[in-house]
Structure 1
Amino acid sequence: MAEMAYQHEYLKIEDQVESEMEAKYEDRLAIEEKRIEKAIQDKEEAAQQKEREEQEAGLKRDKEKQN
């Protein structure tokens, strides 16, 4: 009887540990996903900024050619 109680308690603790580990993994995964999304967004914004700067430089060159 004592062994059954021990096994029951052991399984309960094991389930709790697994749940905690799973929650920590999911938290880390969510943090990593946000980091990746932010990096992608930053690269897209940098590309857009570079494109705007190139367009402005092109317009400036065109104006200088006209003068």
Structure 2
Amino acid sequence: MNEETFNLSIRKFLKVVGVSSQREIEQAVSKALADGKIAGTEHFPVSVILELPGVQLNVRFDGEIHLE
């Protein structure tokens, strides 16, 4: 295994996930605000499930997103 190639591919994947996830969350919150479904002072539980079937990895990460 080439450690450098491995690490670069992980970082590339995580960058895509991070940027895309942030964009999706921002759009969902903006729409909910515009539709009057939320006030903008909430905090929301959030989770992500990371799966890598080739090595039987399935792990969940939990957190919170605060609007204020």
Give the CA deviation at 1:11: 1.1
Q: Does 1:27 align with 2:19?
A: yes
In structure 1, the partner of 2:28 is 36
Task: Tell me which amino acid in the other structure corresponds to 2:20.
Answer: R
Equivalent residue pairs, number = 37
What is the TM-score of this pair, normalised by structure 1?
Answer: 0.50
Of structures 1 and 2, the one with the larger relative CO (CA 8 A, separation 6+) is 2
Q: Which has the larger share of helix?
A: 1
Q: Percent identity?
A: 3
In structure 1, the partner of 2:9 is 17
Q: Which has the larger share of strand?
A: 2
Aligned equivalents of 1:22, 1:38: Cα separation in 2: 24
Task: Tell me which amino acid in the other structure corresponds to 1:37.
Answer: V
Aligned equivalents of 1:16, 1:43: Cα separation in 2: 40
Which structure 2 segments of 5+ residues have no match? 38-68
**Structure 1: 4+ residue segments shifted above 3 A:** none
RMSD of equivalent CA atoms: 1.6
User: Rg: which structure is higher?
Assistant: 1
Aligned equivalents of 2:6, 2:22: Cα separation in 1: 24
What is the TM-score of this pair, normalised by structure 2?
Answer: 0.50
